[in-house]
């Protein structure tokens, strides 16, 4: 199940990033940079099992996403977190659309700073992307 | 009226509508179904664009409650959501939603859906 889920997750994330944030994520090649991230967006999907998706990214990428999502002015902290919640929501919602069965999407949350890094400490991401020079790490927990 | 728990999404949808050339006198915004119902007590709107997945009261419950009121039940509603499951769309349709736009969306999709729904409403009004 997990392999199919990761494949679908990559497709959905790319679609959301391209259509709503006008950014193209490429698979991260070579050695991963430090996995310290300033922001962590997460969303849970509950059904037969509990699936948690987490997205760890640096501040520069978070700000660029917010700026592309709603162009026109320097994004406030609220707008940055809002854009990240919306990204997690769209990825989670589109993922369950293709899963079939009775799944329920939780509400997205954003952690910042030490909380963000601490939430994924010691775990390996299931995918790593290069988004216009910034890393985006995706973590998956299936309970 | 735009109903979405994301402030950025509400602003984005508003911008898309403005750039699409729709002549909008006033936009009302609500962060969930409960806020939307409160606003609708005092305001008439021509169209509601509504997210499904929201805290406190979701979009389907808002639609259900609007349909129980004679006046509110006449306002056309377009659902805008990440959830594209057939059963969810069927439920929205049965509750009277006139259109559906899946997130992520293109500005054209919003414009096309609004054109169609408002066109149908105009035609219905002309028939009456």
Cβ atoms of residues B34 and B55 within 8 Å: no
User: What is the reported pLDDT for A1?
Assistant: 65
How many Cβ pairs within 8 Å bridge chains A and B? 56
Q: What is the pTM of this model?
A: 0.89
* Yes or no, beta carbons of A69 and B12 under 8 Å apart: yes
Tell me, what's the ipTM?
0.83
All structural domains of chain B with their residue ranges:
2-118
Q: What angle do CA A36, A40, A46 make, to 5 degrees?
A: 135
Task: Inform me whether the pLDDT recorded for A125 exceeds 90.
Answer: yes
All structural domains of chain A with their residue ranges:
2-142
Query: Model confidence over A75-112: pLDDT tens digits?
Result: 999 999 999 999 999 999 999 988 877 889 999 999 99
| CATH top-level class of A2-142 | alpha beta
CA–CA gap between residue A106 and residue B60 (Å, rounded): 16
CA–CA gap between residue B25 and residue A13 (Å, rounded): 36
Task: Inform me whether the pLDDT recorded for B20 exceeds 60.
Answer: yes
Chain A residue with Cα closest to B12: A70
* Nearest residue to A140 via CA among A27, A51, A31: A51
Query: Model confidence over A16-60: pLDDT tens digits?
Result: 999 999 999 998 876 666 666 799 999 999 998 899 999 999 999
Between positions 55 and 84 of B, the ones with CB within 8 A of A are 55, 81-84
Task: Inform me whether the pLDDT recorded for B13 exceeds 70.
Answer: yes
Pick the CATH number of B2-118 from 3.40.190.10, 3.40.50.2300, 3.30.1490.20, 3.40.50.1010: 3.40.50.2300
Taking the alpha carbons of A13, A9, B87, B31 in that order, is the dihedral positive or negative?
A: negative
* C-beta neighbour count of A49 within 10 angstroms: 11
User: What is the reported pLDDT for B68?
Assistant: 94
């Amino acid at each position: 199940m997990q392999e199919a889920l990761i494949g679908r997750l990559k497709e959905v994330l790319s679609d959301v990033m391209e259509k709503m944030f006008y950014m193209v994520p490429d698979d991260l090649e070579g050695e991963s940079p430090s996995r310290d991230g300033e922001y962590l967006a997460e969303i849970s999907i509950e059904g037969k099992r509990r699936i948690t998706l987490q997205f760890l990214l640096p501040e520069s990428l978070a700000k660029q996403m917010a700026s592309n999502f709603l162009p026109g002015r320097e994004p406030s902290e609220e707008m940055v977190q809002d854009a990240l919640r919306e990204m997690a929501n769209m990825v989670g919602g589109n993922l369950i659309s293709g899963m079939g069965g009775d799944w329920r999407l939780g509400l997205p949350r954003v952690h910042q700073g030490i909380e963000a890094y601490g939430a994924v400490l010691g775990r390996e991401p299931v995918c790593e992307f290069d988004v216009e020079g910034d890393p985006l790490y995706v973590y998956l927990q299936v309970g | 009226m735009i109903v979405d728990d994301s402030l950025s999404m509400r602003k984005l949808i508003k911008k898309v509508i403005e750039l699409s050339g729709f002549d909008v006198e006033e936009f009302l915004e609500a962060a969930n179904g409960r806020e939307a119902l409160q606003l609708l007590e005092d305001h008439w709107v021509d169209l509601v664009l509504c997210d499904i997945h929201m805290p406190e009261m979701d979009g389907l419950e808002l639609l259900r409650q609007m349909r129980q009121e004679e006046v509110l039940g006449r306002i056309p509603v377009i659902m805008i959501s990440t959830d594209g499951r057939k059963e969810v769309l069927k439920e929205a349709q049965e509750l009277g939603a006139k259109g559906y736009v899946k997130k992520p969306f293109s500005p054209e999709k919003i414009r096309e859906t609004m054109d169609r729904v408002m066109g149908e409403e105009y035609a219905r009004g002309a028939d009456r």
